[in-house]
């Protein structure tokens, strides 16, 4: 049996992968601990607003707060310490990289998760109820582990131009509706529609179809304006919902779990690529979870993608030999070198998390980064040649590997 063993990593890198990758025993334990602590904090904050519960259980609630602050502070310090391992900041140097990491949105949320509690501890005589409200930001920390929340944030970023355009349309529609109602109802109801800024409240509630009923037109012209505003509002305010919903649905099917730089750091193939290229590759990867015994790819089907193992193991039986791939390895790269049929069925030995790179996505990436093609194909060809020399793949695949090496 052939088995790919991971190389020994430094302590800082192992800590980084445990925090960002969420795989292996340490990574899964950290992920479960933090998610459980976040949920417990939100529940505790809600229960704390009930006077009877706060008086009767103030000691356990206080203990939970102290433990949470300590854990979140240690987590934040470890994330800063391991920041140079992140491909997105590693090229800036240790000090500048950590400063850059501290200014990222999720790191700011991590800081606010414990900082207000420390301030309140040292300044107990000041009423810091507003700062206590910031504790609810701890709920946003769960976005690190939720593919739905991370996908939603990414969709909003990707569709920012379209969303900004709809925002401008909303502002224009609000101003036009307020101005029209001011002209139609200003003399009849000066207290409500006497000014355009005052009429804008009615325009916003009408366009959004909320309609509180505190301001209604009484003249025929005013009612016509109101009717047109309602119809425009139904269509206009549905635009951003449709944009986000379409992007969310299209993207969520590509992610069974959250893909991070920490995951890609476990794949040696990506370690030498710059952060921008890794980020583009990460956006093209499909995250897939398979259970033990599940078939990843079947023998005889056309190869359409290659796979990177984030965690777990898969096994293939080729030419009478069993070949096992584990965390950090990749397989199916012949699709990127030469069109072939799958020579063996790949079966998951344990619960496995895979990143799939489709052939068409890879070709699209190569058009943007020609230098990436040489590096990627050379490494993939070397990998195939090693398997070919070991007699673990078919003669057709050996020929494809040799052809790829000759092209290099």
Instruction: Please report which helix (H) or strand (E) contains residue 2, including its range.
Output: strand 2-3
Instruction: Kindly state the average pLDDT of the residues 68-81.
Output: 90
Among 145, 172, 202, identify where a domain stops. 145
| Residue 292 contacts residue 316 (beta carbons within 8 Å) | no
Instruction: Kindly state the average pLDDT of the residues 115-130.
Output: 66
On whether both 186 and 136 belong to a single domain, the answer is no
pLDDT at 371: 66
pLDDT digits (tens, 9 = 90+) for 280-307: 777 777 877 888 888 787 766 666 777 8
Mean pLDDT, the chain, integer: 77
- How far is the C-alpha of 307 from the C-alpha of 387, rounded, in Å? 16
- pLDDT of residue 398 exceeding 60: no
- How far is the C-alpha of 81 from the C-alpha of 78, rounded, in Å? 5
Instruction: Please report which helix (H) or strand (E) contains residue 324, including its range.
Output: strand 321-325
pLDDT at 395: 56
CATH at residue 225: 1.10.287.70
- How far is the C-alpha of 278 from the C-alpha of 282, rounded, in Å? 6
CATH at residue 72: 1.20.120.350
- Asked if the structure places residue 103 within a domain, the reply is yes
- Asked if the structure places residue 2 within a domain, the reply is no
CATH at residue 302: 2.60.120.10
Give the C-alpha distances (Å, rounded to integers) separating 38 from 67, 144, 165, 380, 392.
12, 12, 36, 41, 47
To the nearest 10°, the Cα dihedral for 292, 293, 294, 300?
A: 140
pLDDT digits (tens, 9 = 90+) for 18-33: 787 556 677 778 888 8
pLDDT at 3: 44
On whether both 137 and 215 belong to a single domain, the answer is no
- How far is the C-alpha of 25 from the C-alpha of 100, rounded, in Å? 29
| Residue 37 contacts residue 358 (beta carbons within 8 Å) | no
Instruction: Kindly state the average pLDDT of the residues 140-144.
Output: 77
| Residue 88 contacts residue 22 (beta carbons within 8 Å) | no
pLDDT at 260: 67
What letter does residue 311 receive in the DSSP assignment?
A: E
On whether both 41 and 79 belong to a single domain, the answer is yes
Instruction: Kindly state the average pLDDT of the residues 350-366.
Output: 79
pLDDT digits (tens, 9 = 90+) for 173-206: 999 999 999 999 988 898 889 899 989 999 999 9
Cα angle, residue 251 at apex, residues 209 and 253 outer, rounded to 5°: 110
Among 83, 114, 145, identify where a domain stops. 145
The terminus-to-terminus CA distance of the chain in angstroms comes to 30
On whether both 53 and 107 belong to a single domain, the answer is yes
* Token digits of residue 396: 């057709």
Instruction: Kindly state the average pLDDT of the residues 121-145.
Output: 68
Instruction: Kindly state the average pLDDT of the residues 367-382.
Output: 69
pLDDT band at 5 (very low <50, low <70, confident <90, very high): very low
- How far is the C-alpha of 353 from the C-alpha of 147, rounded, in Å? 14
- pLDDT of residue 374 exceeding 50: yes
Report the domain count for the chain. Answer: 3
| Count of Cβ atoms closer than 10 Å to residue 408 Cβ | 9
| Residue 131 contacts residue 120 (beta carbons within 8 Å) | yes
On whether both 275 and 397 belong to a single domain, the answer is yes
On whether both 13 and 105 belong to a single domain, the answer is yes
Cα angle, residue 334 at apex, residues 333 and 339 outer, rounded to 5°: 140
* Token digits of residue 242: 């449709």
On whether both 385 and 293 belong to a single domain, the answer is yes
- How far is the C-alpha of 222 from the C-alpha of 180, rounded, in Å? 8
| Residue 251 contacts residue 328 (beta carbons within 8 Å) | no
pLDDT at 285: 79
* Token digits of residue 12: 């800082």
- Asked if the structure places residue 249 within a domain, the reply is no
Kindly list the strands in the beta sheet with 295-297, ordered across the sheet, starting from the edge strand earlier in the chain.
Answer: 2-3, 321-325, 314-318, 346-348, 295-297
CA–chain centroid gap for 266, Å, is: 18
Cβ-in-10-Å burial (0-12, 13-18, 19+) of 312 comes to buried
- How far is the C-alpha of 402 from the C-alpha of 408, rounded, in Å? 10
- Asked if the structure places residue 246 within a domain, the reply is no
Instruction: State the number of CA atoms in the 13 A half-sphere of 362 facing the CB.
Output: 19
Instruction: State the number of CA atoms in the 13 A half-sphere of 142 facing the CB.
Output: 17
φ/ψ region of 57 (left if φ > 0, alpha if ψ in -120 to 50, else beta) reads: alpha
Among 206, 240, 274, identify where a domain stops. 240
- pLDDT of residue 223 exceeding 70: yes
* Token digits of residue 147: 């593919």
Structural domain range at position 57:
7-145
- Asked if the structure places residue 188 within a domain, the reply is yes
């Amino acid at each position: 049996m052939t088995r790919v063993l991971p190389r020994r990593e430094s302590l800082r890198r192992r800590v980084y992968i445990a925090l960002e990758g969420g795989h292996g025993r340490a990574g899964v334990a950290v992920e479960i601990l933090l998610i459980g602590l976040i949920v417990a904090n939100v529940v505790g904050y809600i229960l704390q607003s009930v006077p009877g519960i706060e008086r009767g259980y103030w000691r356990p609630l206080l203990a939970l707060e102290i433990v949470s602050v300590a854990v979140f502070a240690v987590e934040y310090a470890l994330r800063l310490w391991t920041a140079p391992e992140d491909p997105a900041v590693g090229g800036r140097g240790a000090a500048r990289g950590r400063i850059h990491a501290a200014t990222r949105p999720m790191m700011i949320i991590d800081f606010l998760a414990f900082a207000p509690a420390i301030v309140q501890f040292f300044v107990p005589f000041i009423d810091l109820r507003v700062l206590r409200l910031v504790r609810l930001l701890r709920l946003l920390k769960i976005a690190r582990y939720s593919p739905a929340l991370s996908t939603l944030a990414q969709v909003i970023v990707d569709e920012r131009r379209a969303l900004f355009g709809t925002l401008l349309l909303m502002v224009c529609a609000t101003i036009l509706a307020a101005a029209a109602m001011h002209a139609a109802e200003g003399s009849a109801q000066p207290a409500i529609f006497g000014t355009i800024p005052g009429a804008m409240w009615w325009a916003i509630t009408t366009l959004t179809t909320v309609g509180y009923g505190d301001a209604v037109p009484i003249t025929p012209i005013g009612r016509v304006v109101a009717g047109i505003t309602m119809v425009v509002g139904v269509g206009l305010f549905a635009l951003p919902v449709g944009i986000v919903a379409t992007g969310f649905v299209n993207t969520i099917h590509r992610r069974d779990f959250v893909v991070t730089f920490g995951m890609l750091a476990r794949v040696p193939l990506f370690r030498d690529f710059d952060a921008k290229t890794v980020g583009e590759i990460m956006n093209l990867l499909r995250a897939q979870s398979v259970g033990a015994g599940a078939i990843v790819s079947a023998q005889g089907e056309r190869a359409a993608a290659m796979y990177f193992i984030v965690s777990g193991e898969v096994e293939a039986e080729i030419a009478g030999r069993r070949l096992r791939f584990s965390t950090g390895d990749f397989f199916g790269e012949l699709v990127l070198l030469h069109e072939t049929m799958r020579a063996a069925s790949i079966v998951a030995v344990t619960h496995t998390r895979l990143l799939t790179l489709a052939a068409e996505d890879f070709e699209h990436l190569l058009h943007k980064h020609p230098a990436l093609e040489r590096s990627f194909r050379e490494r993939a060809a070397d990998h195939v040649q090693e398997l070919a020399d070991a007699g673990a793949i078919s003669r057709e695949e050996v020929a494809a590997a040799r052809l790829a090496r000759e092209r290099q």
